[in-house]
Amino acid sequence: MTEPAHLTAVRESYDTVAADYLRRVVPPEGMDPLSRAMLAAFAEFHRVLAPGGHLLLGGHTGDEEPRPSSAYGHPVTWASHLVPAGRLVALLAGAGFTVTTRLEQARPERPERGYVSLLAHA
């Protein structure tokens, strides 16, 4: 599929993409649906970045699927899909990124969860 010239020009102008964690396909066979969806999103980030552009990705990490029933004093119904930081790095590599900086922050009150900030380039 050929990309229209105006989209190519816009795509080539991006040198940075910032994302606050994607939870929400040309996937390798055998991957779970969440990994396939994340890989597809990361591949799209890679596609829209100019060569050498940067991606800043940050988010909560873990190996669970929290389903809170209330937040900020109100009832809620949603699920979050946390993944370990190493899995995020591997998915970014699979999408063509090179992670240059990885900062992990532990949460003493919730050792099963953390926060990671990743800086990668296309």
Q: Give the CATH number, domain containing residue 98.
A: 3.40.50.150
Q: How many domains are there within the chain?
A: 1
- pLDDT-derived band of residue 28, with 50, 70 and 90 as boundaries? low
DSSP, res 29 = T
- Indicate if the pLDDT at residue 30 is higher than 70: no
pTM of structure: 0.71
- Boundaries of domain holding 73: 5-121
